[in-house]
Chain A
């Protein structure tokens, strides 16, 4: 019996063990539930997901409201690797048009990123594939589709002006902390220069998700959400009809067209040829197409209208004349003789009546005439005081927008070049140069370089008789009308009249270099140029505006390796002005000749 009692005491040992275990558990619970904060934070990070809300990018319109760039829904196929359960790989590959090897590689990549978090498996599935895929997707757990927007270009024109959108690079992320990896950003053209207006501001939705990443509700009733701000729509200055027509005329040619509305500086049309279809640079094929375009020897990604620099050739004679008039070294009645090809120190391209006055010299593009004008400008303060004469001349010339980027909202403009005196000092030694040394400037050759945009602006300045609004491509962003400051040249208004008259003769007088392409109903003004090209056939160049009074359009056309300016550049400019002003072209045969011509040697 003692033994029994002894054993009964053991109940206390058993009770002690039980109480000990429970006390240990309570201590641990006290630690993790009451003392430690760690698990509360971990729990929050478990269920909290910040979903970035991408506002739709602004739509880009032409000047009349036609949509040039719109948004199209696209779909990224996302995957959460852990939820993927032995899929019918072959079937899925067939749906996605993927090779099995690629499929495995992508899945491996996603798994490497995180087996629990969603990552992009396949980017930008088209709307068509999405519709098809959506019906079958339930058979592939772990895969789901996330919508996003892609750019779409309803018309395959103006690619290099509009630019394109792409994923941000690391450099762009480093520069601006607004961007996170995977965001999209304007990479060129308007998409880039108006990036901030177009993109809007990203929003943030904080939601709670379950373990399968399914959304379960808003975190704290959305108290920490950040609303998104929609991107602003842009109204560009482009005229879609004219743009399309210009691109049609420029097909099969290398060169550029820039047309400006003189009174406002609005760029009506800007073409670089050869161009490309902007739709090539969206969606999954972008990388492939981009490298194809960048390797193309015709350089379609190079915007010749902005980036190509040419000597202005004879078109520059207008400026030489204007400076002469302003400086008082030239009058409308000033005459200089010309011996045609035998002229010295600069020969003329052809023989013509001599001597000519200013209007005749413009009409016939006489080289010796403008050399003489240039010489008198430079030697104004004495034959040896070249520097002062040249610097004065250069000051007036640069007031036309030369030697610096002329547009406030176009990217990657070349500056062009009107050499500084220091350049000649370096080249010929200080005071080692005279007007004769730099004589090729008088006919727009030599070191001088301009862009087609600057030349179009020159046409606009003359059309305006002395001032310009910097040529720009966007006139309205959201509700804001964009304004650009008017700039006045150093040449007085009255000096423009004889120059305009001379340019009118180019079209309308008996010896005018553009007389074959006179527009019957419109009194037009122009000036041809042939740019000597040491690498091949000369470049044809033409600047013009119309109508002569109250001009509506100023234009510059450059056709590379096309020879004499009048042959190719004039008809294209003429057709474009007729089209813009009258709305239709009455010279189908000219139009046909131009569209069919292929000047690019393969």
Chain B
């Protein structure tokens, strides 16, 4: 009979402490964002900080459940969990409730759940299980296709719910695949595609293609290793030209007007301070006016007086920037970076591929959310509504990130055990 142990035995205290800090800071900032003198009780369930306090309490319950569960459950039931969530994602298309244009909520009584949030950890589990098998080689086409299907189903279903932001998160898995042996070319290709996308919108597409031809010709000219790969380079040129041309088409035909404006505003092609640019402009004002040390807790005028929209969810970083200043922003970003580093270093120490891959999934997803959310708030990325992990208001989001992280903490606490 196994001895009964503390469920937190061997659990990594660094990750847990950072988690607790981020959640508490998040709650303080939600409180500040919606603060008004009429509702000062912190457990007033009419307010978002009151509800968030409830989400935090239930998250603690989830943590206990996760820590009590045998770690083998997660690897063993990963496909089942994945399948269940996919079914939920399909179900939400039928019975879902539409909120702010996205049909992504399942309503059970007064309780609302966003399956897209839960799909993140489920997909992570499934991916870890699939790639964690012995003798799996990601360079196989069959494996690639399987991984593609596994990672493709949830975002497609989420896109059908009209929730672009949550769907984009699945791009984060490229880091995991890269770590597991996917050719670096994919990472470079992805980066190049993004670069081409932006430049072809900023500049004339023919100029971009001309520039590309020059660069590729130079690469061929300077090629040192053996025969010059003219055929491959021509192929690259043709493929990217096709891409550039289709960007233009996609931009004008596929994207919705509000998405187009967001991108144009970001690229500086449009200044629309009253419409699409308003959010970013106000967000910049709020953060920028914070100065070095901030205006002080609960004393942010821009956030308190609602100049910044969505400030307890997508634009929560504004409250940090305004009330805590550069110092506060630095602390928050530092904590996130520390958490990411810790997850990666712990992941590398795992004995099982399953735990390692899952750890990278967690880091990638958190990183993607962090960079998109903060990048949007400081005007470096287009407005894509995804939450800042542990910070943003919302039960589904907090639960999902808690589950995501604590499954890894649980797996990590058992890394020395023989599987």
Contact = CB atoms under 8 A, between A and B. Distances in A.
Interface of A: 3, 7-8, 10-11, 13-15, 17-19, 21-22, 24-26, 28-30, 32-34, 36, 38-40, 42-44, 46-47, 115-116, 208-212, 216
Q: Which of A3, A32, A209 has the most CB of B within 10 A?
A: A32
Main secondary structure of the interface of A (DSSP, over half): helix
8 contacts: A14-B344, A18-B341, A19-B337, A21-B371, A25-B371, A33-B290, A33-B291, A115-B274
B374 interface: yes
A179 B290 CA distance: 37
A29 B329 contact: yes
A2 to B, nearest CB: 12
Contact of A22 (B306, B307, B333, B380): B333
A30 B325 CA distance: 10
A116 B281 CA distance: 15
Contact of A208 (B305, B337, B344): B305
B333 A7 contact: no
Q: Which of B282, B284, B285, B325 has the most CB of A within 10 A?
A: B285
B29 to A, nearest CB: 16
Given A7-B181, A14-B179, A30-B326, A25 B375 contact: yes
Contacts of A15: 341, 344
B179 A46 contact: no
Given A7-B180, A14-B175, A30-B326, A210 B380 contact: no
Contacts of B179: 7, 10-11, 14
B287 A32 contact: yes
Interface residues of B, number: 45
Given A18-B367, A211-B306, A40 B344 contact: no
B380 A208 contact: no
Contacts of A209: 305
Given A22-B333, A211-B306, 20 more contacts: A7-B180, A14-B344, A14-B360, A17-B175, A18-B367, A22-B336, A25-B333, A25-B371, A29-B329, A29-B378, A32-B287, A33-B329, A42-B285, A43-B302, A43-B322, A46-B282, A46-B302, A47-B307, A208-B305, A210-B304
Given A11-B179, A24-B380, A211 B305 contact: yes
B348 to A, nearest CB: 6
A38 B330 CA distance: 20
A43 B291 contact: no
B178 A33 contact: no
B306 A212 contact: yes
B301 interface: yes
Interface in B228-282: 274, 282
B307 A211 contact: yes
Contact of B291 (A10, A11, A34): A34
A553 to B, nearest CB: 65
Nearest to B306: A211
B285 A43 contact: yes
**List of 8 A-B pairs having minimum Cβ-Cβ separation, nearest first:** A39-B288, A210-B305, A43-B289, A32-B288, A33-B326, A211-B306, A47-B301, A40-B289
Nearest to A40: B289
Contacts of B363: 14
B292 A46 contact: no
A32 B284 contact: yes
Nearest to A209: B305
B122 to A, nearest CB: 23
B74 to A, nearest CB: 22
Contacts of B291: 33-34, 40
B337 A40 contact: no
A47 B329 contact: no
B30 interface: no
B340 interface: yes
B321 interface: yes
Contacts of A21: 367, 371, 375
B158 interface: no
Contacts of B292: 33-34
Interface string B365-378: 00100010011001
A51 to B, nearest CB: 16
Contact of B340 (A18, A36, A211): A18
Nearest to A47: B301
Interface in B372-389: 374-375, 378-380
Given A15-B341, A18-B340, A34-B326, A39 B181 contact: no
B86 interface: no
A33 B305 contact: no
Contacts of B371: 21, 25
A573 B287 CA distance: 79
Contacts of A211: 305-307
A47 B302 contact: yes
B85 interface: no
A33 B321 contact: yes
A30 B288 CA distance: 9
Contacts of A17: 175
Nearest to A116: B274
A274 B306 CA distance: 59
Interface in B177-217: 178-181, 184
Contacts of B362: none
A524 B11 CA distance: 117
Contacts of B301: 43, 46-47, 208
Contact of B287 (A24, A33, A44, A47): A33
B286 interface: yes
B337 A18 contact: yes
Nearest to B292: A34
A22 B340 CA distance: 11
Contacts of A24: 380
Given A10-B179, A25-B374, A25-B380, A46 B326 contact: no
Contact of A3 (B181, B282, B374): B181
Contacts of A42: 285, 288-289
Contacts of A3: 181
A542 B304 CA distance: 75
Q: Which of A8, A10, A38, A209 has the most CB of B within 10 A?
A: A10
Contacts of B378: 25, 28-29, 32
B267 to A, nearest CB: 16
A14 B329 contact: no
A208 B360 CA distance: 47
A253 to B, nearest CB: 61
Interface string B112-141: 000000000000000000000000000000
Nearest to B308: A211
Contacts of A39: 284-285, 287-289
B225 to A, nearest CB: 19
A10 B174 CA distance: 13
A25 B287 CA distance: 12
A43 B380 contact: no
A28 B380 contact: yes
A29 B305 contact: no
Q: Which of A33, A34, A39 has the most CB of B within 10 A?
A: A33
Given A18-B367, A29-B321, A43 B286 contact: yes
Interface string B302-334: 101111000000000000011001100110010
A47 to B, nearest CB: 5
Contacts of B337: 18-19, 22
A348 B86 CA distance: 121
Nearest to B291: A33
Nearest to B286: A43
A31 to B, nearest CB: 9
A210 B306 contact: yes
Contacts of B285: 39, 42-43, 46
Nearest to A17: B175
B288 A33 contact: yes
A209 B304 CA distance: 10
Contacts of A13: 178, 184
A45 to B, nearest CB: 9
B382 to A, nearest CB: 15
Nearest to B367: A18
